[in-house]
Amino acid sequence: MASELAAPPSADELRFIFASGRLSLDLCATVGERWRRGFERLRSPGDLTRWYAEAAVATAPVLVTEPGLNQARAVRDAIYRSARAVIDGRQPSASDGEVINQAATAPPPVPHLQRGVLTIAAAEPDQAASALSAVARDAITLLTAGDAARLRECASQQCGLLFTDTSRPGRRRWCSSSSCGGRARAAAYRQRHAPSRGGRD
C-alpha cells in the first residue's frame, strides 16, 4: 500500500463499494486504487463495523476492536492475493490459504426469525471474528468452486476492481457496464469521431 498519497482521499472516494458480486471480493474493495494510491477505507474499527452493516453480514452492530480490524485487513489482503493468483492462472499461496482458513473457524453470524422478520447477529463471544468468518467462508467457496473460473479484474485502467462474471457467455470485462463500461464506450466513441488532424479544412 502506498505510504504517501498525492492527495488524501475524498469523502466520496472513502465510500464502500459493493459491485463485485461476492462478499469476500467486496471486502477487497476496501482498499482504493491498489494500482496507484492504495488508500485505506477501513481506517478505524468503526469503519469496519459500518462495513459489516452495509454488507449485510449482520443486522445488529458488530463490535470491532483494533485487533479485530487488523485481522480483517490481513484476511482481506490474503483473499485479494489468492483471487489475483487464480485470475493469473496460478495457485494461491499456502500461507494466504491458512490465513483465510483460520478466520473461517470462528462461528459465523446466526440468522433469527422473529415475527416474520429476519435478523442476523454475530456470534458471541467475539463478534468481529464471527462476522469475519462469514467473509472467509465466502472466499473459500469462491476460490474452490466453479465460480473461481468466473473471477475477473475490471479492464478499466482506472479501476482494477475484482468481480465475478455472472454473464452467460462469461466474457464480461467491466465491473459495471453502467460505470466503467459506460466510460470506456464513451471514450471509444469520442476517439472514433474525433476530427482528423491530417485532413484539409
| 37-70: pLDDT as tens digits | 889 999 999 999 999 999 999 999 999 999 999 9
The answer to whether position 78 is within a domain reads yes
- Domain range for 166 is 23-192
- All 3 cell numbers of residue 75? 484476511
Residue 201 lies in a domain: no
The set of cell numbers assigned to 87 is 485470475
pLDDT digits (tens, 9 = 90+) for 56-65: 999 999 999 9
Number of domains observed in the structure of the chain = 1
Q: Is residue 154 part of a domain?
A: yes
For residue 177, being part of any structural domain is answered with: yes
pLDDT at 197: 54
In a domain, 104, yes or no: yes
Q: What's the CA dihedral at 139, 141, 146, 149 to 10 degrees?
A: 10
87 located within any domain: yes
Q: 5-19, 76-90, 167-181: which range is least confident on average?
A: 167-181
162 in any annotated domain: yes
Supply the pLDDT for residue 3: 46
Residue range 180-184: average pLDDT?
53
Report the 3 state secondary structure along 64-119: CCHHHHHHHHHHHHHHHHHHHHHHCCCCCCHHHHHHHHHHHCCCCCEEEEECCEEE
Domain CATH number, residue 159 = 1.10.3300.10
The answer as to whether 8 is a domain residue is no
pTM of the model: 0.83
